[in-house]
Amino acid sequence: MIFSDRFCQWIGHLKLSRVVICVSVILFLVPFVTHYYLSKYESTLGSLGSNPMRHTLEALGDFSTMNVVDLKLRIEEMLRIKASVSTELRELEARRSRLQREAAAASAKADSAKAEHARAAAELQRLRVSADQARLAQLEAIRRDSPELAPPIQILPSRPPPVLPTVSSSSEVHCRMFSCFDHSRCSLTSGFPVYFYDPDIYAPLAGAEVDGFLKTTLRQTLGYNAHLTHNPNEACIYLVLVGEAFPFDKNPSSTTESYKLLLNETAVKSLPFWGGDGRNHVLLNLARRELAVGSGDAFRGASIGRALIAQSTFTHEYFRPGFDIVTPPALGPPGGDVWVDCAPIAPARRKYLLSFQGSQPPAKGRDRDQDKNLIEYLQGIEKAAPSQDMFFLQFECDPPVERRAVLHIGDWALCGTDRSRRAILRDSTFVLILAPADRVYTTTALLQARLYEALRSGAIPIILGGDRIRLPYDEVLDWRRAVLTLPKARVTELHFLLRAISDADLLTFRRQGRVLWERYLSSVQASVDSLLATIRTRLNIPAQPAAPTVGLPAFNDSYSPPKSEPQLVEAEQDETLGPLEAPYSSPAFRRNFTLGLLHGYELWNDWGEPFALYPQLPWDPAVTSEARFMGSAAGFRPLGAGAGGSGKEFSEALGGDRPREQFTVVILTYEREAVLAAALTRLRGLPYLNKVVVVWNGPSAPGAATWPESGAPVVVVRAARNSLNNRFLPFHLVDTEAVLCVDDDAHLRHDEIVFAFRVWREHRDRIVGFPGRYHAWDLNYNNGFLYNSNYSCELSMVLTGAAFVHRYYLWAYWRALPAAVREYVDEYMNCEDIAMNFLVAHITRKPPVKVTSRWTFRCPGCPVTLSADETHFHERHKCIQFSLR
């Protein structure tokens, strides 16, 4: 135990000695080592020249002479200096960060000010251009001193027709519009009001009542007519439904079963607005039962004063050209879609070259002999015809037609049933129609019934004896483009003529025949509308303006979605594409009273729309170049003030054959507000943009999300139901002729849009756009038309997801396009663009125009679209097959 204690004491003394020895060595060696290296370092710096470090060391003194206490003090001082410097550095870093934030804020403010300056400069430029345009418009208005036109304001009479003395029977046959019609009741701005006598109250037949079907049908069809008025004091004409066939009484002294028609003249002349002589009254006799029973001129021998007669049977003696009107018999349905009842136009040549079905009339004398020789010659042609020319000629009905059913006027009776006759006509290239053997008749109901059936089935009518025949509404319809008329003496040249017609001409005849049948003869409504439109055309009274679609606003008057300013697209800031003008509507209703005079033929025979007045038409004529600047027109802005120019001058004016104008963008969307917002952003700064109409197809109203400004007024309308047909609704909000239909996910650059707009201005009757497609006959599979979107130089369609169309075609889509096509679009939610392409091509007989080299439109951030479905293209194949029926 004692040994252990001493050992520990020895170890403690040993450790203390070692510590003292180590400290002494350190205190002795450190000054020498430090002095050595500092001297060496100082000599090195001395060789390089003066250095602040040396002065600092000198100021501190020689470390070798310092004691431990001074060194400690120096170290503590240096630590304090270091802490102070660190604090100062941290403060400087904080200040630098603050300055950086302030600089970033100032930079953002500068960018905002720069953007605001750019917007202000653009707005200033727009105001300058608007001021220049307003100044030019003022000068043009002063120079021309002509008001802006609008739909006519009605000027109507306020009293019924005054009672005038009756006219003699001998004077009635000489009635014409200038001598027997009261034009004072039909002002040019009257709108052509028509009053219809209630057939349940006013019955002008003796001992018979008007057929209930006709009464109901006529009320229904006139109810859809824009000219109907219930105020007789303001009426221009008065329509009287006399009947479909008058009562007849057999004449026992006659051996040919002639019939005397009985008309209650007292009832007719007692009509409350007859005015003593019946002026401005139209007596309408629709033929249906007389096709089977038989009757002649319903008003032959009757005194009807100065009233017009509209019926399907007339004699040469009593027909008053330019006054009476030949109407077709009431064979079709009351109205509705008759397109599905038509036979296909192709192929050009069918099974039978010529067909005829009828029973020979009981004519006598020269007429009987002529028809007998005609029949013998036709039978000889049938026997001698080559094998490729098949005839179907039936001159006796099986079973024989009853004698009472054979018309006493020498008409050829119809054989078989409607179904059997239609089957033969659908297989016939031409169908023979023989004029009545009795030459006193200028037209008969049975002849027009044959014409009706032929046009419905696509068989081209050939009327032998047509040189003395009047056809329905022939004063406005050009029947030469749909019907071949030959004198009976040319029957020997008939076969030669039929063989000489080319396939292209056959299809042209057949197509025009279908146009005339569909629009003017196919239904009772079409026939009555055509009758009234014919009288109105005589009087040169414009039709009623076409009613636009009034869209339901998505927001009420007190609310509008908040707007945000979109960022300008850098790629387009430096590009000048045109002036930013204030909204400027296209001039409307400039041709209210001249359209029918200059283009009346086209209205009836080409465009097929004489029933309504439109603000503009794609075919409105352009002013000749020299007349534009010699006081005959306004709004023309030549390039470079007439000197022309390059890009800058070209972008400052549209030039061309048309005055300045703008376009409306119509966007169809379905509950995709983010995609819609991006679409509106892309329209910012687009030249010539008048307005943006957003058609909201969703069932719920758009939300309160922030929408970007597009640089033009934006109007959102809610559709009544979700339908792709809503893309082509003729909204009242559209004020321009040019309409740019755009999908909400279609990406178009401004230069592409402006270029397409310039091209459309020179091809206003066509579709001008971007995504091209084509359809072609598929020989490998189903022998039908194939829809294809592959890259090809073979283009036949331009999809309306990004295309310019004329405003008129929005109305035509709902008025001229068969309703079955729109129903098909709703059923499959597809093909509205194909339908519009086919419609425009059908009206104009021209292809669309594709611009730029772009083929498809991509939107990576958009939801899946309809076109991504695998069945999309299969449905579009079917759409083409359906549309070409």
Give the catalytic positions in this structure.
833
Using CA atoms, how far residue 676 sits from 270, 624, 714, in Å, is 65, 42, 12
Name the nearest CA neighbour of 616 among 538, 690, 548: 548
CA gap 107, 255 in Å, rounded: 110
Both tokens assigned to 605: 């025979």
Using CA atoms, how far residue 864 sits from 434, 618, 672, 722, in Å, is 62, 36, 11, 18
Using CA atoms, how far residue 616 sits from 281, 297, 564, 586, 806, in Å, is 33, 43, 36, 9, 9
CA gap 840, 837 in Å, rounded: 5
CA gap 652, 655 in Å, rounded: 9
A 10 A CB-CB count for 868 gives 8
CA gap 876, 834 in Å, rounded: 8
A 10 A CB-CB count for 482 gives 24
Q: Are 168 and 137 a contacting pair, CB within 8 Å?
A: no
Query: Cis ω on the peptide bond leading into residue 542 (within 30° of 0)?
Result: no
Q: Are 610 and 519 a contacting pair, CB within 8 Å?
A: no
A 10 A CB-CB count for 756 gives 25
Q: What letter would DSSP give residue 37?
A: H
Using CA atoms, how far residue 370 sits from 69, 147, 174, 567, 585, in Å, is 154, 64, 32, 86, 65
Q: Residue 181's Cα: distance from chain center in Å?
A: 39
Both tokens assigned to 503: 């396939």
**What are phi and psi for residue 31, nearest 5 degrees?**
-60, -40
Both tokens assigned to 437: 């053997």
Q: Look at residue 178 and give its three-state secondary structure.
A: helix
Both tokens assigned to 869: 């479905």
Q: Exposed, middle or buried, 816 (CB in 10 Å: 0-12/13-18/19+)?
A: middle
CA gap 435, 412 in Å, rounded: 8
Name the nearest CA neighbour of 442 among 550, 584, 273, 297: 297
- Cβ-proximal residues to 44 (8 Å cutoff; 6+ apart), any chain: none
- Cβ-proximal residues to 64 (8 Å cutoff; 6+ apart), any chain: 31, 32, 34, 35
Name the nearest CA neighbour of 450 among 432, 472, 468, 430: 432
CA gap 173, 302 in Å, rounded: 11
CA gap 757, 740 in Å, rounded: 9
- Which strand (E) or helix (H) includes residue 797? strand 797-798
- Residue 250: strand pairing partners: 259
- Residue 691: strand pairing partners: 664
CA gap 505, 429 in Å, rounded: 12
Amino acid of residue 235: A
